[in-house]
């Protein structure tokens, strides 16, 4: 893609890079007043280790915490929160380094994220919850279940992390990001120059039904990628995939909680065969394939996903 671009002058590059240097201080980044769901919903802020974490907190009842995946944000759960809130307290957060939440210059290791998540639960006085995770969010949920089993009542995993993440990724975009990443400064420049086009390409890989990828959906996802230093946490997360495999991926069979595992039949990131492997490693699992859905099954096919989640919660209560 770079070969088709005209050469850039050194003063221009220096000016652009100068803009990027202002992104490191997370508290200097102004926060929007609402998250951009289909209905614009006010959110709340809690502080974890002096970092601002944005979250929704709706409904009453047993707590459910919904965890987005790699590069995602709260909007991935926009079709769940109001439905699940009829019977549960529903918390949806932007993870540290994602969405509206602060993006400190930390090493985003699995252990660091697990400790962050435990402290996030503490900040909301939640002693135990059902964790609902998509993709990397499912990986974090499983890690919490292994490190702090007393804090996790049950798990709902949608396109969950497999034991061998790197060998399981089928998405061309994520394969390139994993194996052929440009220097961070160049990726920031590319995001500034062609970020909307890249956003559309990513959405077409994670969402099976391309008719759902409207200009409004592209714009919302693109704006999410422009908040603060969006790329540095992603680089750190990708650098630590092997660490997750070694610390957690090889222990999935030790998860003691009941698990609902849902997988889109057209998942282009982790194909259905990967889901079968995850299913075989979990000892207490209920497994369902979501037809006509990709990697974000909860967003593409919310009616059937919500039915499975509510049925599982009712049976396991």
What CATH number has the domain spanning 9-316?
3.40.50.1820
Least confident range from 50-59, 147-156, 209-218, 306-315: namely 209-218
pLDDT (0 to 100) of residue 26? 37
> How far is the C-alpha of 252 from the C-alpha of 132, rounded, in Å?
16
pLDDT (0 to 100) of residue 184? 74
129-134 and 152-158 beta bridge pairing:
parallel
Beta strands in the chain (DSSP E): 34-35, 41-42, 44-48, 51-58, 63-67, 89-93, 129-134, 152-158, 259-264, 285-290
Q: Is the pLDDT of residue 125 over 90?
A: yes
Q: Is 53 exposed, middle or buried (0-12, 13-18, 19+ CB in 10 A)?
A: buried
pLDDT (0 to 100) of residue 227? 64
DSSP 190-228: HHHHHHHHHHHHHHHHH-S-GGG--HHHHHHHHHHTTSS
> How far is the C-alpha of 154 from the C-alpha of 17, rounded, in Å?
45
Give the mean model confidence (pLDDT) for residues 248-272: 97
Least confident range from 72-76, 156-160, 279-283: namely 72-76
Q: Is the pLDDT of residue 19 over 50?
A: no
163-186: burial string, b at 16+ Cβ within 10 Å, e else: bebeebbebebbeebeeeeeeeee
Q: Is the pLDDT of residue 7 over 90?
A: no
* 96 close to 45: Cβ distance less than 8 angstroms: no
Give the mean model confidence (pLDDT) for residues 241-252: 95
Bridge partners, residue 89, by sequence = 63
Tokens representing 314? 């009712």
pLDDT digits (tens, 9 = 90+) for 168-222: 999 887 777 777 777 776 777 766 666 678 888 889 999 999 999 999 888 888 7
Nearest residue to 146 via CA among 277, 249, 242, 66:
249
pLDDT (0 to 100) of residue 140? 98
Residues of the chain with pLDDT > 90, as a percent, come to: 66
The pTM of the full predicted model, rounded to 2 decimals, is 0.85
Which letter does DSSP use for residue 39 in this model? S
Going from the C-alpha of 284 to that of each of 129, 135, 156, 298, 317, the distances in angstroms are 18, 19, 12, 22, 15
pLDDT (0 to 100) of residue 150? 99
Direct distance between the N- and C-terminal alpha carbons of the chain, in angstroms, rounded to an integer: 52
pLDDT digits (tens, 9 = 90+) for 64-114: 999 999 988 998 999 999 999 999 999 999 999 998 999 998 999 999 999
Residues of the chain with pLDDT > 70, as a percent, come to: 82
Give the mean model confidence (pLDDT) for residues 117-143: 98
pLDDT (0 to 100) of residue 10? 34
Q: Which residue has the higher pLDDT, 182 or 3?
A: 182
DSSP SS3 for 34: strand
Give residue 15's pLDDT band: very low, low, confident or very high (50, 70, 90): very low
Give the mean model confidence (pLDDT) for residues 251-272: 98
Q: Is 9 exposed, middle or buried (0-12, 13-18, 19+ CB in 10 A)?
A: exposed
pLDDT (0 to 100) of residue 12? 33
DSSP SS3 for 80: coil
pLDDT (0 to 100) of residue 228? 61
Q: Which residue has the higher pLDDT, 308 or 16?
A: 308
- Residues contacting residue 186 through CB under 8 Å, at least 6 positions apart: none
Helices 110-123 and 136-147, interaxial angle, to 10°? Answer: 80
Q: Is the pLDDT of residue 23 over 70?
A: no
Cα-only R_g, the chain: 19
If one counts every other C-beta atom within 10 angstroms of the C-beta of residue 235, the result is 15
pLDDT (0 to 100) of residue 127? 99
pLDDT (0 to 100) of residue 307? 98
């Amino acid at each position: 893609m770079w070969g088709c671009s005209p050469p850039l002058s050194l003063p221009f590059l220096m000016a652009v890079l100068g803009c990027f240097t202002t992104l490191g201080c997370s508290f200097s980044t102004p926060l929007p007043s609402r998250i951009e769901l289909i209905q614009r919903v006010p959110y709340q802020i809690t502080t974890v280790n002096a970092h601002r974490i944005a979250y929704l907190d709706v409904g009453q009842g047993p707590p459910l915490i919904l965890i987005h995946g790699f590069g995602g944000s709260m909007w991935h759960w926009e079709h769940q929160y109001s439905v699940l809130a009829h019977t549960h307290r529903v918390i949806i957060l932007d993870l540290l380094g994602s969405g509206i939440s602060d993006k400190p210059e930390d090493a985003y290791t699995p252990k660091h994220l697990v400790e962050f998540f435990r402290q996030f639960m503490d900040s909301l006085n939640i002693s135990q919850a059902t964790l609902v995770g998509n993709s990397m969010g499912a990986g974090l949920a499983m890690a919490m279940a292994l490190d702090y089993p007393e804090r996790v009542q049950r798990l709902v995993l949608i396109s969950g992390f497999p034991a061998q993440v790197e060998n399981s990724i089928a998405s061309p975009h994520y394969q390139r990001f994993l194996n052929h990443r440009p220097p961070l400064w160049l990726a920031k420049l590319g995001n500034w120059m062609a970020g909307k086009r890249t956003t559309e390409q990513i959405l077409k890989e994670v969402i099976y039904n391309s008719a759902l990828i409207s200009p409004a959906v592209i714009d919302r996802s693109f704006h999410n990628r422009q908040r603060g230093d969006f790329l540095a946490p992603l680089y750190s997360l990708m650098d630590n995939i092997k660490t997750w495999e070694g610390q957690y991926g090889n222990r999935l069979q030790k998860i003691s909680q009941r698990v609902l595992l849902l997988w889109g039949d057209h998942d282009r990131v982790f194909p259905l065969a990967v889901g079968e492997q995850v299913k075989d490693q979990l000892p207490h699992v209920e497994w369902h394939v979501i037809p006509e859905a990709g990697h974000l099954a909860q967003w593409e096919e919310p009616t059937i996903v919500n039915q499975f989640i509510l049925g599982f919660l009712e049976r396991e209560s």
